[in-house]
Chains A and B, each alone.
Chain A
Amino acid sequence: MSISQEFTKGLWKEIPPFRLVLGLCPTLAVTTAGENGLGMGLATTFVLVFSNLLISLLRNVIPNKVRIAAFIVVIASFVVIVELVMQAYVYPLYKVLGIFIPLIVVNCIILGRAEAFASKNKLLASIADGLGMGIGFTISLTVLASVRELIGNGTLFGAHVMWSSFQPFSIMLKPPGAFLCLGLILGFMNFVSARQKGH
Chain B
Amino acid sequence: MRDLIKMVVVLTAICGVSGLVLSYTNQATKAPREYQLLKYVKGPSIKAVLGGYDNDPIKDKIVLNMGKDKKGKPILKNIFPARKGGKLVGLAYGSAATGYHGPIDVMVGFDPKGKISGISIMTHSETPGLGARIVEPAFTKQFKGLTLSGDLNLTAKGGKIDSVSGATHSSEGTVEAVRKALELFPTVKKEVG
A residues near B, CB below 8 A?
Answer: 58, 61-63, 65-66, 69-70, 73-74, 76-77, 80-81, 84-85, 87-89, 91-92, 95
CB distance from A75 to the nearest CB of B (A): 10
Total interface residues in chain B, CB < 8 Å:
19
A88 to B32, CA, bound (A): 5
7 A-B pairs whose Cβ atoms sit less than 8 Å apart in the complex: A69-B11, A80-B25, A81-B21, A87-B29, A87-B36, A89-B32, A92-B40
| A70 pairs with B10, CB closer than 8 A | yes
Residues of B within 8 A of A58 (CB): 14
A66 in complex: contacting residue of B11, B18, B33, B40, CB < 8 Å: B11
B22 in complex: contacting residue of A61, A70, A81, A95, CB < 8 Å: A81
| B29 pairs with A88, CB closer than 8 A | yes
| A84 pairs with B33, CB closer than 8 A | yes
Residues of A within 8 A of B7 (CB): 63, 65-66
A95 to B33, CA, bound (A): 13
Q: Label chain B's interface by main secondary structure.
A: helix
* Chain B residue at smallest Cβ distance from A84: B29
B residues near A, CB below 8 A?
Answer: 3, 6-7, 10-11, 14-15, 18, 21-22, 25-26, 29, 32-33, 36-37, 39-40
| B40 pairs with A95, CB closer than 8 A | yes
CB distance from A87 to the nearest CB of B (A): 5
| B29 pairs with A73, CB closer than 8 A | no
CB distance from B44 to the nearest CB of A (A): 13
A63 in complex: contacting residue of B10, B18, B26, CB < 8 Å: B10
| B25 pairs with A62, CB closer than 8 A | no
* Chain A residue at smallest Cβ distance from B13: A61
| B33 pairs with A63, CB closer than 8 A | no
- Can you add 4 more A-B contacts, CB < 8 Å, to A63-B6, A85-B25, A91-B37? A70-B14, A73-B11, A73-B14, A91-B40
| B3 pairs with A63, CB closer than 8 A | yes
CB distance from A25 to the nearest CB of B (A): 24
| B10 pairs with A62, CB closer than 8 A | yes
* Chain B residue at smallest Cβ distance from A95: B40
| B11 pairs with A70, CB closer than 8 A | yes
* Chain A residue at smallest Cβ distance from B39: A91
B29 in complex: contacting residue of A70, A76, A85, A92, CB < 8 Å: A85
A85 to B21, CA, bound (A): 13
Residues of B within 8 A of A65 (CB): 3, 7
Residues of A within 8 A of B6 (CB): 63
Given A62-B10, A66-B10, A91-B36, A77:B22 Cβ within 8 A: yes
A74 in complex: contacting residue of B3, B18, B36, B37, CB < 8 Å: B18
Residues of B within 8 A of A87 (CB): 29, 33, 36-37
